[in-house]
Amino acid sequence: MGSSSELFKVKTLVEAIDSLKPYVHSFYQRVETIPLAESLGCILSQDIPATYAIPHFRKSTMDGMAVRASDTFGASESMPALVQCYGEVRMGEAPTEVLRQGTGILMPTGGMLPEGADAVVMIEHIEHFGEELYGVTKAVAPGENLIDIGEDVTEGEVILSKFTRIRAQEMGLLAALGQISVPVLPRFRVGILSTGDEIIPPDQDPLPGQSRDINGYTLLGQALACGAEAHHYGIVKDDLEELRTMLTRMLKENDIVLLSGGSSVGTRDLSAQLIGELGEPGLLFHGLALKPGKPTIGGVVDGKLIFGLPGHPASAMVVFDAIVRPWLDGSVLYAPVDPLPKGKLTQNLYSGSGREEFVRIRLIPDGEGWLLEPIRGKSGLIRTMVLADAIVHIRLDTEGIEAGKETSFRLMR
């Protein structure tokens, strides 16, 4: 591949993602229905409206006595309001009678208030004077110590929108609505292959000049953490036909294929050549304006995404986070709602002009906030990623960021 076409194919991160997008829209139109218990990490394929209100009855947030609030107005320790209390509500049962003026009913936390009751007096503010007579020593306002019908969720409102990634709390909300089957995008299938003559499996002892396969495992972990179904296909040497056979199989079995290159230019050129030959539209970028991560290549083969990531372990992880994760968590389609946390840099960060940079940082507690301390270290060192708590993104349009400036970071923990 000549230098002119190679220069032409170097893209910024945004350009690279935009060049891939038109070919993979169909990913996000697929739907499967899975059991709620298996939905963690999946992405909703449609809006979920509330089928009914939560809670669907008025419930107490305290142990105490359900009353009409107006019956307690003016009550104090020295002058308690007198209330006739008839029995108690048991958990899981609905009281049958309307609460009349001047009366109350004892109530457990989470119990259902009878009709007519509009507040709950805490047990600490009740005195028992014998038989049914009780004194209330502190007034309550209407609505106090209770959760009203629909206070959590009103019927018909969209409670979870399309492309929301399901966390534990979304599982709870779906359970509250009785939604035991959940419509989601099928989990992305990600295939990972390590390439290079110098790479050996972790269970072998490296000879001089050889390195154990780190990237196969960091990328596998990152893909699994994104909720994908990921599979590590092992190691292939720098051999065109062997690589062709393996890639053909991986493209059949996966939605996204990740090659982690031996750092050599040779491996990268073989991969680029194959991406160009295996299907349409082929190679879409050859190099990214990123630091670390410039040697990244990528394209689409017949509707499947394929990336050649750098051989340096820290670079491969950073590039995964920058250009692979957004497809897996759906953030290429919509801006994530969660704002990134911020902290203050302990030193100036300069960026080489013309490319964006991802800087590994350590978080140091600083009162209520965080100090961000850049971790110096070459991108070939996996330890720098183990020490890193987070990543700061220096965008294309900035020369750098000064020390002391409030800066967003993405957690890597």
> How far apart (Å, rounded) are the C-alpha atoms in residues 253 and 144?
58
Give the residue among 125, 176, 169 at the shortest CA–CA distance from 147. 176
Tell whether pTM > 0.75.
yes
> How far apart (Å, rounded) are the C-alpha atoms in residues 181 and 35?
5
Domains of the chain listed by start with CATH number: 3-30+186-328 (3.40.980.10), 33-51+162-184 (no CATH), 59-147 (2.170.190.11), 342-411 (2.40.340.10)
Q: What pLDDT is stored for residue 335 in this prediction?
A: 66
Q: What pLDDT is stored for residue 264 in this prediction?
A: 60
Q: What is the dihedral of CA 373, 378, 380, 385, to 10 degrees?
A: 0
Which ranges of the chain have pLDDT less than 50? Answer: 1-7
Q: What pLDDT is stored for residue 7 in this prediction?
A: 46
Give the residue among 148, 161, 132, 149 at the shortest CA–CA distance from 45. 161
Q: What pLDDT is stored for residue 384 in this prediction?
A: 87
Q: What pLDDT is stored for residue 3 in this prediction?
A: 43
Q: What pLDDT is stored for residue 382 in this prediction?
A: 85
CB-based contacts of 79: which residues, under 8 Å, 6+ apart?
none
> How far apart (Å, rounded) are the C-alpha atoms in residues 175 and 48?
12
